[in-house]
């Protein structure tokens, strides 16, 4: 069976959890011994990430669609012509690959007119719950691409039960058309860290950690306000280390840091490679994860796997991920965040308990389980006949 995977839908270093999902999934699939062959469609940005996987079972196809000069000129008068030409060329390339199933791992299908059997992974429908976090253009684009993809695809993969329920509630997708396959954490995160390794220059000897880009839903402002409140009431002085891709406007958060006079207590490292994330998790006293909205919550599982105590928001998919053993708080309440932060800071026994109970839970989210669950969806869709080909409910 030949399975195509479109790896041209994300920009490395700018796509956050989606990139982690795609890289982890593809590497897991290529390790399976299941008779499936994978055709990886890559471009000049994504090809370096997967070049080492090239083998008899994993074929790399470079996507280079020629856009005629006439089309480029027409695009100035009729915006979208370049995209139309690109989609048409991509469609021809994918049709020529003689695929049994084609997987689009990021919420939408391009080209939407591809006639074969398709699987689409949905990470979240955040725009349906928090439209205030998106521009008008972003909302329009998602409306034009997400719902049609959910309707067109033969089957949908949801990365959490929460996302699966969202697809049913907001898009009316029949539950039987959705399979929940939890995102996995790479084996590299749980590898032990040398106690003598400092994780890089510029880190304080003790700190707590929050890995997230400065998107509004990541809720940095309330975490900073909780720090300031605890600093005033309890003398809280533990530094916060921030990491995250440079894909959002950092000015409001930097302004909040200055307003709260926390410049001496907040260290922002920007985007860091995965090997340094492992070092940060190994060195951090604990992680705070106050996000208002997650489709899954990869950083929480990474902390669990690395043995880093973590407290997270009681919101969206996060209770599903951390389970009853975890410490959760109301992410819309600065007071509740401050109370959880105080407990994590003061209570060494709590940190030890979280480290002991959450690390085994991370074993629920393995690469092997994710790859096997996804491969099973491919098999089911490939056997689905004309009904799956049409993508009907």
DSSP for 235-270, written as a single string: -----EEEE--S-S--HHHHHHHHHTT-TTTEEE--
**Global confidence as pTM:** 0.89
Report the percentage of the chain scoring pLDDT > 90: 72
Picking from 386, 385, 376, the residue whose alpha carbon sits closest to that of residue 35 is 376
Unique residue bearing structure tokens 């869709």:
381
Q: What is the pLDDT of residues 348-374, one digit of tens each?
A: 999 999 999 999 999 999 999 999 999
**The token pair that represents 27 in the structure block:** 């590497």
Res 82: pLDDT:
66
In this chain, the answer to whether the domains covering 2-184+367-390 and 187-363 adopt an identical fold is: yes
- The predicted model gives 18-40 an average pLDDT of 93
Confidence of residue 191 (pLDDT cuts 50, 70, 90): low
Domain parsing of the chain, residue ranges: 2-184+367-390, 187-363
- Among the listed ranges 12-16, 266-270, 279-283, which one has the minimum average pLDDT value? 12-16
Q: Residue 294 above 70 pLDDT?
A: yes
DSSP state letter for 59:
E
Kindly tell me the sign of the dihedral angle through the C-alpha atoms of 152, 153, 155, 157.
negative
Q: Comparing 385 with 23, which gets the higher pLDDT?
A: 23
**The token pair that represents 235 in the structure block:** 């003398």
Confidence of residue 66 (pLDDT cuts 50, 70, 90): low
Cis peptide before 111 (omega within 30 of 0): yes
Confidence of residue 54 (pLDDT cuts 50, 70, 90): very high
Q: What is the pLDDT of residues 199-250, one digit of tens each?
A: 556 789 999 999 999 999 999 999 999 999 999 999 999 999 999 876 667 8
Contact 111, 118 (CB under 8 A): no
Q: Does domain 2-184+367-390 match CATH 3.90.930.60?
A: no
Q: Does domain 187-363 match CATH 3.30.565.60?
A: no
Confidence of residue 392 (pLDDT cuts 50, 70, 90): very low
Confidence of residue 193 (pLDDT cuts 50, 70, 90): low
- Among the listed ranges 63-72, 254-263, 333-342, which one has the minimum average pLDDT value? 63-72
Confidence of residue 90 (pLDDT cuts 50, 70, 90): confident
Distance between CA atoms of 295 and 301, rounded to whole angstroms?
13
Distance between CA atoms of 367 and 375, rounded to whole angstroms?
12
């Amino acid at each position: 069976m030949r399975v195509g995977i479109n790896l041209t839908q994300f920009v490395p270093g700018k796509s956050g959890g989606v990139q982690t999902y795609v890289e982890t999934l593809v590497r897991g699939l290529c390790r399976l011994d299941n008779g499936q062959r994978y055709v990886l469609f890559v471009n000049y940005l994504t090809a370096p990430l997967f070049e080492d996987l090239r083998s008899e079972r994993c074929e790399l196809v470079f996507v280079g669609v020629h856009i005629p000069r006439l089309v480029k000129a027409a695009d100035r008068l009729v915006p979208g012509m370049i995209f139309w030409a690109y989609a048409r060329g991509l469609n021809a390339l994918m049709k020529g690959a003689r695929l049994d199933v084609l997987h689009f791992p990021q919420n939408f299908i391009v080209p939407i007119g591809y006639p074969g059997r398709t699987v689409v992974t949905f990470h979240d429908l955040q725009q349906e719950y928090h439209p205030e976090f998106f521009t008008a253009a972003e909302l329009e684009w998602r409306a034009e691409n997400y719902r049609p993809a959910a309707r067109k695809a033969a089957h949908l993969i949801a990365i959490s039960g929460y996302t699966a329920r969202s697809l049913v509630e907001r898009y009316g997708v029949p539950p039987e058309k959705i399979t929940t396959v939890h995102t996995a954490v790479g084996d590299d995160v749980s590898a032990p860290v040398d106690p003598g390794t400092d994780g890089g220059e510029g880190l304080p000897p003790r700190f707590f950690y929050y890995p997230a880009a400065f998107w509004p839903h990541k809720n940095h402002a309330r975490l900073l306000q909780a720090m300031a409140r605890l600093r005033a009431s309890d003398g809280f002085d533990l530094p916060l280390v921030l990491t995250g891709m440079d894909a959002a406007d950092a000015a409001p958060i930097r302004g909040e840091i200055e307003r709260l006079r926390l410049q001496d207590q907040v260290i922002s490292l920007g985007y860091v490679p995965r090997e340094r994330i492992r070092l940060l998790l190994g060195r951090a006293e604990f992680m705070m994860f106050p996000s208002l909205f997650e489709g899954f919550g990869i950083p929480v599982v990474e902390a669990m796997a690395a043995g880093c105590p973590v407290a997270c928001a009681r919101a969206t998919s996060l209770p599903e991920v951390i389970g009853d053993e975890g410490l959760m708080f109301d992410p819309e309440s600065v007071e509740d965040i401050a109370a959880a932060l105080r407990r994590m800071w003061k209570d060494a026994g709590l940190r030890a308990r979280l480290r002991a109970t959450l690390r085994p839970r991370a074993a629920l989210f393995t690469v092997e389980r994710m790859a096997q669950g996804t491969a099973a969806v491919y098999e089911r869709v490939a056997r689905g006949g004309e009904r799956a080909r049409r993508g009907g409910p």
